Structure 1
Amino acid sequence: MQDATNRRFRHATMKDYPQMERIYAHARELMARNGNPTQWGNAFPKPQTVKEDIREHRAILLADTLGGKERILAQFALCPGLDPTYAKIEGAWLDNDSYVTIHRIASSGLVRHAARDCIEWCLKHYGNVRVDTHPNNKAMQHVLESCGFARCGLIQLIDRTEDTTRIAYQRHEW
């Protein structure tokens, strides 16, 4: 069994990009097999978005070392500041305090609970976290709710023309 004590978080670099693309491809396949084929479709996130996340230091990796070789266990974009997609919500956010947003979270499938570890790390370091997911993404809804996130309502993505509804969540560590 893999020892979780050597897990660490770090910012992604352009050297990580090929592996990150493979992890996103794995996540798209997994979502499609589990009844959620449209959240990311065949092309989300776009390569330029992933590269911009890396350049802007938003791309965070959960990694470990096994047999002397680093493995990426999960990845996500951590976005500080106001998210324009969250300006309108059918429902209500918990508050209007400053927050960070988790976007584009994906697990490599190498270990269990990697996405949960990423979410818990964000809560520990930032306290007020918002995130959204597709109504068909039952796995992510379960993870978020088991991590204590409140379902705040529905938002509409502003960067797409179809399949735009997402369930919005927030957790604020007071």
Structure 2
Amino acid sequence: MNDDTVTRRFRHATMNDLPTIHAIYQHARELMAASGNPTQWGDKFPREEVVLDDIESQRTMLLVDTLDGKERVLAQFALCTGADPTYEHIDGAWLDDDPYVTIHRIASSGLAHGAAKDCINWCIEHYGNVRADTHPNNKAMQHVLETNGFARCGLIQLLDRPTDTTRIAYQRHEW
């Protein structure tokens, strides 16, 4: 087995990655719906303008590997720096008020086991204080966050939609 068949790395997405990003989000929407979470992303989330803005603003990170000389995207997420307006009001309490980064729109391609965990660990390694949120019906993401050391901090309300706004808020801070 060639070394590059197992080496995972992270890189920023480019517009050339857009078809792959769309395919991974479609895969994630289908998985969510099949596992009892049809409303979190529905059939249109994330919106095209959000996906494009994430790429243009260099927020979209890709977890990639190489198999048989060809790069594969294993997972993707938006890494958002600075205070998230959605997190200003919480029914509960954050671990602290220190600066943090937020993981949004994480999705796995389904090509490799442990991709979401690798994304989360990379964020913790590079930033130390990480927040995330997920839908109450997204048991898979709740499991991923909780088994990777995130504390359930309370409930937040999304600001960018009129209905189905409640999310479970999580934080992990490596002191």
Name the TM tier (shorter chain). Answer: over 0.9
Letter paired with 2:96: D
Aligned to 2:34: 33
After the TM superposition, which residues 140-151 of structure 1 pair with which residues of structure 2 at under 5 Å, given as runs?
Answer: 140-151=141-152
Structure 1 segments of 4+ aligned residues over 6 angstroms from their partners: 1-4
List runs of 5+ in structure 2 lacking aligned partners.
none
Aligned to 1:64: 65
Aligned residue-pair number: 174
Identity value in percent: 72
The Cα offsets for residues 12-64 of structure 1, whole Å up to 9 and x where unpaired, read as 00000110000000000000000000000000001111110000010000000
The Cα offsets for residues 54-77 of structure 1, whole Å up to 9 and x where unpaired, read as 000100000000011100000000
Aligned to 2:12: 11
After the TM superposition, which residues 1-174 of structure 1 pair with which residues of structure 2 at under 5 Å, given as runs?
Answer: 5-174=6-175
List runs of 5+ in structure 1 lacking aligned partners.
none
Residue 132 of structure 2 contacts residue 171 of structure 2 at CA under 8 Å; is this kept in 1? yes
The Cα offsets for residues 56-99 of structure 1, whole Å up to 9 and x where unpaired, read as 01000000000111000000000000000000000000000000
Structure 1 residue 2: Cα displacement: 10
Distance 1:2 1:58, change over 3 A: farther
What RMSD, in angstroms, separates the aligned Cα atoms of the two structures?
1.3
Looking at structure 1, the residues matched to 12 and 134 of structure 2 have their Cα atoms a distance apart, in angstroms, of: 23
Looking at structure 1, the residues matched to 81 and 167 of structure 2 have their Cα atoms a distance apart, in angstroms, of: 19
Looking at structure 2, the residues matched to 2 and 104 of structure 1 have their Cα atoms a distance apart, in angstroms, of: 32
